[in-house]
Amino acid sequence: MAIAKKDLLSLSDLSVDEIQEIFAVAREMKTVIAGEDKKHPVLRGRSVINLFYENSTRTRSSFEIAGKYLGADVVNISASSSSVTKGESLKDTAKTIDRLAPDVIIMRHGASGAHEVLAQNVKARVINAGDGAHQHPTQALLDMFTITEKKGSLEGLKIAIVGDILHSRVARSDVWGFRALGADVTLCAPPTLMPSHAADLGVTVTYDMNEAVKDADVIVMLRIQLERQKAGMFPSVREYAAFYCLTEERLALAKPDCLVMHPGPINRGIEISGEIADGVQSVIDEQVENGLAVRMALLSMMGGYQNDVN
């Protein structure tokens, strides 16, 4: 199955059937990754550009390796080493890159909605690897895939997302995806880090972490995004941790087989205790592994069907 829309800007660009198909292909990709020969060259002769205006470890390296395992030529462009530092606009950068005839462009950008500008100015298919506090669709895909692997499905699960919801593109994509697959979602943050429209998202909203994690099947902890915050959103990191760090006592309120997730990078001792991050209920390492499989699946489905899309 090809992905119907040209670009993946928001998770809602995918249908539930397409999401399930991505998971099915990701399962096959896990076998490829586990094998001795990791080359699965379905994108031989295709090219992928990674255009990163913001820092990244997991997302960027997994997209790069995914493209390489699939046999595509992969080029990385980071803002600090490109003409962006000379004042080039995103539109001009997009038009320049498009002349190099890439099949897929993966972009991370600090401005919410920047991908619309890119998508309108290139023939290549665009995948959003994170835009400001807006969307991070491939993180949500790998989160949903990880939960599906562990729990069978998301139907009826109670999932708590805790932390800096206001600045989190992960939370925005996760909420859409978790609900689309049938989960009940609770959002928890200090009032200053909760978006004012949160209750309109079809979720339960609470400022009390104990209430959020009680009987949860899955807890997704989020990083405090100090780089996006204005001063004064909470009194101090120590005070934040006192109310919103995932500790053993708080985790004990959840179901005994509750999964603990975090998109990374982790601030140990701030939003999650180191023991829990490394503990038996944590699937943080599996999230990284699954990120590669899911991105291989997505690239294989988006990189080879350029003429079939609208």
Binding site for ligand ASP (CB under 6 A): 130, 136, 169-170, 223, 225, 263-264
Q: Of 264 and 279, which has the nearer Cβ to ligand ASP?
A: 264
Q: Of 263 and 304, which has the nearer Cβ to ligand ASP?
A: 263
Report, in Å, the least distance between residue 5 CB and ligand ASP: 22
Report, in Å, the least distance between residue 38 CB and ligand ASP: 24
Burial of 238 (0-12, 13-18, 19+ CB in 10 A): exposed
Closest by CA position to 187, among listed 205, 170, 201: 205
Q: Of 2 and 201, which has the nearer Cβ to ligand ASP?
A: 201
Report, in Å, the least distance between residue 170 CB and ligand ASP: 5
Report, in Å, the least distance between residue 226 CB and ligand ASP: 10
Closest by CA position to 178, among listed 194, 199, 154, 161: 154
Q: Of 20 and 225, which has the nearer Cβ to ligand ASP?
A: 225
Q: Of 158 and 172, which has the nearer Cβ to ligand ASP?
A: 172
Report, in Å, the least distance between residue 161 CB and ligand ASP: 12
User: Taking CB positions, which residue lies at the least distance from ligand ASP?
Assistant: 223
